[in-house]
Amino acid sequence: MAKKKVTLFNGERNERYDYIVTKEQPLSYTAESFQKVLINLDYANIDQHYKVIQFTSTLASEGKSTFVSNIAYLLGQKGKKIVLLDLDLRKSKMHRVFNAPNKNGLTDYLSGKIPFEGLVQTSDYIGIDYIVTGEKTTAVVNVLESNKLKELILKLKETYDYVLLDSPPVIAVSDALYISKLSDAVIFVVAQGVAKKSLVKEAIQTLKHNNVTILGTVLTQVNIKNSGYGYGYDYTYKYEE
């Protein structure tokens, strides 16, 4: 299947991870663009081949965690059963999205400290299930390559319509590549003005060389006032094969 372009802009960046713009401002231009991404996702996944979707970027601070949390909310609003799993074990953020302590999470489950029943939490605010990273670990690669994590993903895949994986950026560490082995496909987030185009291309080529299915790319943090594109114009960040 050819890579499908997923288009988006995201206006000014909001540093509050727990602010879900698609919930708080459902009629805004930003919320409308998230809805367009969902339409593209529906077409890309028309046969439901992709249930475990990883979200990554080139570098940090490209709005990836904000993006995935808004997509998770909208999918939940469409009646889909969603679980959002934080796999950024070095710099976790999802507990901030849900205003929850970063405990009783993934590493605690994998190390046998908590049962599965104590792992998955539910957000009344967003209306989806989520899993935080839990206790810090220096054995990140061991965790990401563990059979127990693979078994967990398979179990979640049987229960949920979508398992969304928030992962680290590609260039910074190798974690994203290990996580890609657990996922069915990747959505790649690009923030305007954060990473050089050469680095973005390098990150995407790295994923391709590892046979990762890229559903599409998403452009975030675009300055709408200065972009010259106006309301309703899809800005697509396209990469050549």
Q: Where are the domains of the chain?
A: 50-217
Question: DSSP assignment, residue 150?
Answer: H
pLDDT band at 196 (very low <50, low <70, confident <90, very high): confident
Residue of 127, 21, 40, 31 whose CA lies nearest to 76: 127
> Who contacts 110 (Cβ-Cβ below 8 Å, separation ≥6)?
143, 146, 148, 149, 152
More confident position, 112 or 12 = 112
CATH pick for 50-217 out of 1.25.60.10, 3.30.70.580, 3.40.50.300, 3.10.180.10: 3.40.50.300
Question: Is residue 191 predicted with pLDDT exceeding 70?
Answer: yes
Question: Is residue 13 predicted with pLDDT exceeding 50?
Answer: no
Residues 89, 133: Cα–Cα separation, whole Å: 6
- The percent of residues in the chain predicted with pLDDT above 90, rounded, is 58
> Any idea of the CA torsion for 92, 98, 100, 102, to the nearest 10 degrees?
-20
pTM (two decimals): 0.86
pLDDT band at 15 (very low <50, low <70, confident <90, very high): low
Q: Which residue has the tokens 């309703």?
A: 232
Asked which of 8-12, 127-131, 150-154, 236-240 is least confident by mean pLDDT, the reply is: 236-240
**Which pLDDT score is estimated for 165?**
97
Specify the 3-state DSSP secondary structure of 163.
strand
